[in-house]
Amino acid sequence: MSKVKYLFYSFILGLISLLISACDSTTDAQLLAEEMDSEELDCSDGAQAEFDDWGKTGLLLSCRMNHGKVVGWDYGRKVMEGNYYYGKKHGEYHWFDEKGVITKTIIYDDGKKVSLQSN
């Protein structure tokens, strides 16, 4: 076998080995995600379990409760705003079009939808 062919095959084998190891780490990440997803927290009424970055490479699972103003952004623009009161939607929720004009308003009272207005 010529030296060029040998170097080429060595390179290909190294590349295949690298790809296999990358797939293994993805599998490890998937297994970790499944294990963490099965973890159950006893969150109080209105709170929900959420994952956050923790440490250099870790994740933190904790109970969170939304309270106060919430704003949703998509594609660099505001698409929704509303309020939570101790974990429940409360008051007016507005949805906006690309120009910032309100297209829909939903009113909530203690987490229950009271009315819907489409503009």
Residues 68-114 pLDDT 10s: 999 999 989 999 999 999 999 999 999 999 999 999 999 999 999 99
The per-residue pLDDT for 61 is: 82
d(CA 46, CA 61): 16
Is the C-alpha dihedral spanning 110, 114, 116, 117 positive or negative? negative
Average pLDDT along the chain: 80
19 or 44, higher pLDDT: 44
- Of the candidates 65, 67, 97, the one whose C-alpha atom is nearest the C-alpha of residue 80 is 97
Distance of CA 37 to the CA centre of its chain: 13
Query: SS3 for 40-104, per residue?
Result: CCCCCCCCEEEEEEECCCEEEEEEECCCEEEEEEECCEEEEEEEEECCEECEEEEEECCCCCEEE
1-10, 44-53, 70-79, 110-119, range with the lowest pLDDT = 1-10
The per-residue pLDDT for 71 is: 94
